[in-house]
Amino acid sequence: MPELPEVETTVRLIRPQLVGRTIRGARVAWRRTVGARAFEARVARARITDVRRRAKYFVIELERGRSPAGGLLGHLRMTGRVLVTPAGAPDPEYGKVALALDDGTTMHFVDVRKFGRLVWHADPARELAALGPEPLGEVFTADWLGAALRTRKRALKPLLLDQTFVAGLGNIYVDESLHRAGLHPLARADRVKPREAERLWREIRAVLTEAIAREGSSFDAFYRTPEGKPGSYQEQFRVYGRDGQPCRTCRATIARLVVGQRGTHLCPRCQRRPRTR
């Protein structure tokens, strides 16, 4: 599932093509979608004022007559993709929603398996209000993380995947961050020492920054940027998907276990399992 770096990449590439454009008309290709006609009516003739990311969502803000007109809230899920095609270009395969723009281009929401979501909300920010802080934002500091961990008695991996705790992290980048920080996925959050919390904070931000620079991770055939290119951060994975291979740090064999019903990858030497009390 696309995580923060993949969604951030998508937003950065489509924002210049969408902001300032007026939606001439909308078409929902799958007519069985509940509320398809209402969706088309709500976005038609609206002007796009901003495109941004929040956690794993992309948000397209709208206005009509210089008054707010709600916005589109999208989630790529497993196989979703957003792209903008030039005038006269054929519709892409598996297109689910098409927004015709006033410059002749068309924004498409494409999804092979129909797991993705693109919905209209009167107030997208309100829909996302329960999410935790952005890991690359100003609120997410080393002090904040250390204090927040001390109040939780949960294992680190499930806690970091909890979108109400920190927004945008998923399986890939949690595994990579924990390895770089030298912390076991089953370590209790409230037992993480201040210096370990600072190291985890630093590595989360470093991993995400590096992944965005490489336009995310494409470890299967589905994630592609709006330009149709795969990301390349998978070439830098230290543990994720590398079970049975040597650790890039210490050469021990990468192991896989299940934590919170999620496949989890770690180095048993770099990430010592905590002792139970």
Q: How confident is the model at residue 114 (pLDDT cuts 50, 70, 90)?
A: confident
Q: State the pLDDT at residue 35.
A: 79
Torsion of CA 130, 134, 135, 139, to 10 degrees: -100
Task: Confirm whether 2 is a catalytic residue.
Answer: yes
205-224: average pLDDT: 92
| Dist CA 255 CA 246 (whole Å) | 10
CB 263 within 8 A of CB 256: yes
Asked whether the predicted pLDDT for residue 244 surpasses 80, the reply is yes
- Here the tokens at position 35 are 């509320």
What mean pLDDT value characterizes the chain? 94
| 142-266 maps to CATH 1.10.8.50 | yes
Catalytic residue among 2, 5, 133, 185: 2
CB 222 within 8 A of CB 112: yes
Could you say which DSSP state residue 197 is in?
Answer: H
Catalytic residue among 54, 56, 81, 157: 56
Catalytic residue among 24, 262, 268, 274: 262
Using alpha carbons, list the distances in angstroms from residue 77 to 30, 118, 260.
17, 11, 19
The sign one gets for the Cα dihedral 159, 165, 170, 174 is negative
The H or E element containing residue 48 is: strand 47-54
| Dist CA 96 CA 118 (whole Å) | 9
| Dist CA 117 CA 80 (whole Å) | 8
Task: Confirm whether 56 is a catalytic residue.
Answer: yes
| Dist CA 36 CA 109 (whole Å) | 14
Selected residue with higher pLDDT from 179 and 273: 179
Residue limits of CATH 1.10.8.50 in the chain: 142-266
Asked whether the predicted pLDDT for residue 247 surpasses 80, the reply is yes
Structure confidence by residue, pLDDT tens digits, 123-154: 999 999 999 999 999 999 999 999 999 999 99
Structure confidence by residue, pLDDT tens digits, 79-92: 999 999 999 999 99
Specify the fold of 4-127.
N-terminal domain of MutM-like DNA repair proteins (3.20.190)
CB 172 within 8 A of CB 217: yes
Task: Confirm whether 202 is a catalytic residue.
Answer: no
Task: Confirm whether 229 is a catalytic residue.
Answer: no
Q: State the pLDDT at residue 140.
A: 98
Q: State the pLDDT at residue 101.
A: 98
Q: State the pLDDT at residue 276.
A: 65
Q: State the pLDDT at residue 277.
A: 55
Asked whether the predicted pLDDT for residue 32 surpasses 90, the reply is no
Q: How confident is the model at residue 29 (pLDDT cuts 50, 70, 90)?
A: confident
Residue limits of CATH 3.20.190.10 in the chain: 4-127
Residues in the chain: 277
CB 254 within 8 A of CB 246: yes
